[in-house]
Chains A and B, each alone.
Chain A
Amino acid sequence: AIQLTQSPSSLSASVGDRVTITCRASQGISSVLAWYQQKPGKAPKLLIYDASSLETGVPSRFSGSGSGTDFTLTISSLQPEDFATYYCQQFNDFSLGFGGGTKVEIK
């Protein structure tokens, strides 16, 4: 099974900061990668799919890039509502996997 490794596992940042989260796959997955945001007590919310496509309704400060094994999620200017945990996700051979998550906290 393909493993996804996210880094860092947590980070502290201030409102207005540029934040980058990385996700590395144990083998190439082309561009089949999605990113989700999860706030405490809530279901995950889809942000990015196919590595770089912005889901409808998601603010443009969120962007994704990468292909093969290395991917990034970038928040260009962190807003108060962006403090949450972020997960990457891959789908391969009818099996789905998530990264371990990155918790973005207030500095």
Chain B
Amino acid sequence: QVQLVESGGGVVQPGRSLRLSCAASGFTFSTYGMHWVRQAPGKGLEWVALIWYDGSSKYYADSVKGRFTISRDNSKNTLYLQINSLRAEDTAVYYCARRQRSRLDYWGQGTLVTVSS
């Protein structure tokens, strides 16, 4: 069965960096595009980034462009999100999700990032 497991969240001071990981199993990871989506406490869903199945193309929400970098290692079946210059407004649960054409058909359980001094 498809499984996506995020890790790497925690409490981080403003201005620091963090790398989130998403370990995939139960499907051929190298043939699917992948998304990151976040959700601030008590708020709605916000799309963050998309990476092509082979890593050749990457797309970002305007709100994170320049600070966030999505990447993947298909040999390790793992998706990453590098977050630099963390701000209080980056506090959220970060989900990875599998791209199935225009939809997100499988989601991980999320990892919480809290930006606080």
Contact = CB atoms under 8 A, between A and B. Distances in A.
Interface of A: 1, 32, 34, 36, 38, 42-46, 49-50, 55, 87, 89-91, 94-101
The 9 closest A-B pairs by CB, nearest first: A91-B102, A43-B107, A96-B47, A34-B103, A98-B45, A49-B103, A94-B59, A101-B44, A32-B102
Query: What's the interface size class on B, roughly?
Result: 20 to 34
Contacts of A90: 102
A89 B95 CA distance: 15
Contacts of B110: 43
10 contacts: A34-B102, A34-B104, A36-B45, A44-B37, A45-B107, A94-B50, A99-B44, A100-B44, A101-B44, A101-B45
B105 A55 contact: yes
Is chain A's binding surface mostly helix, strand, loop or mixed? strand
Is chain B's binding surface mostly helix, strand, loop or mixed? strand
B47 A43 contact: no
A46 B105 contact: yes
Interface in B87-106: 95, 100-105
- Of B100, B101, B102, chain A has the most CB atoms within 10 Å of the CB of B102
Contacts of A87: 44-45
A91 B103 contact: yes
Interface in B19-62: 35, 37, 44-47, 50, 57, 59, 61-62
Nearest to A96: B47
A44 B107 contact: yes
- Of B44, B46, B47, chain A has the most CB atoms within 10 Å of the CB of B44
A94 B62 CA distance: 12
Contacts of B50: 94, 96
